[in-house]
Amino acid sequence: MINPLPQSGLCQPISGAPEATFSEQFWHSLFYFNVYRIMVVVVIILITWMVLDPVLGSHNPKLFFYAALIYLFCTGISMLLVLIRLPRFNWQIAIQICSDVMFITILVHFSGGILQSGLGLLLLASLAAAGLISRGKLVLFYASIASIGILLEESYTLLYVDGYRAQYLQAGLLSMGYFAVAWLAHALAKHTAASEQLALQRGIDLANMAEINQLVIQDMQDGVLVVNANGEIQQRNLHAEKLICLSPEFLVKGMLADQAPLLAERLETWRRDSNTNFDLLRIPVSNALVHTRFVSVKGGSKASVVIFLEDMSHVQVQAQQLKLAALGRLTVNIAHEIRNPLSSISHASELLEEDSGIISTHSQLLRIIRDNTKRLNKIVQNILQLNRRDQATSELIQGDNFLRTFIEEFCYTEKIDIDVFSLAISGQHVVRFDGGHLNQVLWNLCNNAWRHCRKQHGSIQLILASEADDRIYLDVIDDGPGIDPGALNKLFEPFFTTVASGTGLGLYIAREMCEANSASLFYLEKPAGSHFRVICRGN
């Protein structure tokens, strides 16, 4: 249903949104970095505690062990601060790196220097993590702090430990490693930040393009359906919903064969032979005449398919209106010229029928003349009504009162038992319609229903109800044989009739008057009987 568009504008970068997103990523990264710090300290403590003659803490094992415990306690506090997000991120990363430098330098001192313990290499991981987590901010400063700490440790050990030979060369090389790792982390962080920004911008562009495409599809005059290889409707626009009468509650995932079986048959035919040329298709539920076009999404006939439904009704309506406009000007003039001699013929036949000396054969001929003059007069009246389509004066009509009055007048005029009608009204409904037009529309529909129904109790049903979108529909249903499926395509065309005495203008005029009142007249197929529906505006 493809299923309705968001009402907001195109996606735009919101000020502060990227920072909020990156900040959340920062906090997650900082959390895992603290997990690593805790694991390192725990491993150091376990090695010191379990190994009898460890290299770590060889200079002063007891103070080394206590320093490691304090380091573990501080990392635990850091983890707690990360979870509560206090203080701010930049302060936390700075405190944690500085504490790593301080404690690792102390552990190096109590282990006999950088050469003997090798603990100074742990700062490489901390600097790399700091550079990547903080996107390279202050990472060179952290490398400077680490270098100063190692050099100060070597100088202090040289001054206060007897017989110690300072390892300034190794300390210098390690410091160079700190700066190299810091610079590399800084470069990787800049590249990562640029990639994320580019990905974010591309995501916004793709979202904009997707929304633009959706807007274009929704505003297309053609119906659009996207159907996958299994025949499920994955997407559709509003015009397609109208053409195949999909309700707004219908889920996007639904079978095309259940909603439009004729269209599903054409799709299967096209899948077998994509060069098939199709005629115009009449959709039964909406009586719309459409031109179908199928386009494969992935280039294969078995993949998802986009179905374009071009509504040809407006083209036919325009052509028909042009034809009827020219025909109307001619027929109206002819109708006025016909009415005078037609009235004379009718009057003369009535006078002849009153002659008592007329024989029965002549009386039968006169009756034929009278019946045909009435039929011609009815045709003339219908033709004259074609020009009254746009003379609609909308008014608010109480649906229940109007229908009850209409049924009484119709039954009295046509001499029909009122029990033939069954009236069902759900609630109070106010209809916006021209009263005269609505009366004529119902008269045409009920006249057809009476002509074809079984003429029993409740043979004609009138139903007045409302839909979810506040539109009001009026159904006229009879229990007759229904309409031949072959005649459905021409049902609302002018001068088409299946009754010898009919003019073929009743349903056409009824639909024209409905459209003049911003309403619609449809024929709904059912297994037995005829079902016409008028959908009109409420109050």
Domain ranges of the chain: 17-199, 221-311, 316-388, 395-536
**pLDDT at position 16:** 38
**pLDDT at position 325:** 67
221-311 and 316-388: identical CATH topology: no
Structure tokens at 43: 């491993």
Question: Which whole-number Å values give the CA distances from 407 to 60, 112, 258, in the listed order?
Answer: 110, 111, 37
Question: Which whole-number Å values give the CA distances from 433 to 67, 69, 382, 436, 523, in the listed order?
Answer: 91, 88, 20, 9, 20
Query: Each residue of 85-112: b (16+ CB within 10 Å) or e?
Result: eeeebeebbbebbebbbebbbbbbbbbb
The CATH topology of domain 221-311 is: Beta-Lactamase (3.30.450)
DSSP-derived secondary structure for 162-206:
TT----HHHHHHHHHHHHHHHHHHHHHHHHHHHHHHHHHHHHHHH
**pLDDT at position 259:** 79
Give how far the C-alpha of residue 34 lies from the chain's centroid of Cα atoms, to the nearest Å: 45
The CATH topology of domain 395-536 is: Heat Shock Protein 90 (3.30.565)
Which residues are within 8 A (CB) of 381 and not within 5 positions of it... i.e. 6 or more apart?
none
Task: Classify burial at 142, counting beta carbons within 10 Å of its beta carbon; exposed 0-12, middle 13-18, buried 19 or more.
Answer: buried
Structure tokens at 508: 């056409």
Taking the CB of residue 330, how many other CB atoms lie within 10 A of it? 9
Taking the CB of residue 131, how many other CB atoms lie within 10 A of it? 27
**pLDDT at position 15:** 36
pTM across the whole model: 0.43
* Per-residue model confidence as pLDDT tens digits over 92-106: 888 999 999 999 999
Is domain 316-388 in CATH 1.10.760, yes or no?
no
Element (H, E) at 506: helix 506-516
Task: Write 51-57 long-range contacts (CB < 8 A, 24+).
Answer: 55/111, 55/116, 55/117, 56/107, 56/111, 56/117, 56/119, 57/107, 57/110, 57/111
β partners of residue 422:
461
β partners of residue 521:
534
Question: Which whole-number Å values give the CA distances from 472 to 151, 303, 422, in the listed order?
Answer: 88, 41, 18
Q: In which residue ranges of the chain is pLDDT below 50? A: 1-22
Cα separation of 490 and 517, whole Å?
23
3-class secondary-structure state, position 84:
helix
**pLDDT at position 330:** 67
**pLDDT at position 350:** 73
Question: Which whole-number Å values give the CA distances from 97 to 37, 66, 92, 149, 297, in the listed order?
Answer: 10, 20, 9, 12, 54
Question: Which whole-number Å values give the CA distances from 192 to 22, 36, 57, 308, 335, in the listed order?
Answer: 12, 22, 39, 44, 84
Give how far the C-alpha of residue 428 lies from the chain's centroid of Cα atoms, to the nearest Å: 33
